[in-house]
Amino acid sequence: MKRRAELTRYWWISWYQPTDDHRPLTYPPNDAVLGWWCSGERCSDGASTLVAHVRSSDEDAAKAAIRTDWPEAGEWRFCEPRSGKPEPGGRFPLSDWMRERYAQCER
């Protein structure tokens, strides 16, 4: 039997959100999403550029977790695995619900 640490990975994922309102359907979003941020807009059509840290077993599960709260997501910019405990940078401040989720991450 695999240990939980072997089943769980962390992903840094980004996509273009084509809706006028880029917020997730639920607040806070589902438990797999550790944090999310709007990092800008695409010049050609104004689609929001979103990024998120996601906890999942694989890339497909990470994308499925995003589509749970952003069902229009599908134009992915990247989905990169991260080793160890995810740490957001200074550009991406944590809100209250994010601090709780990051605190629960395994090392």
Of 19, 11, 12, the residue nearest 73 (C-alpha): 19
* pLDDT at residue 106, as a whole number: 62
Residue carrying structure tokens 């940078």: 89
Q: Give how many domains the chain has, as a whole number.
A: 1
Higher pLDDT, 62 or 2: 62
- The predicted-structure confidence for 6-53, as pLDDT tens digits, reads as follows 557 999 999 999 999 999 999 999 999 999 999 999 999 999 999 999
CA atoms within 13 A on the CB side of 10: 19
Range of the domain at 82: 4-86+95-103
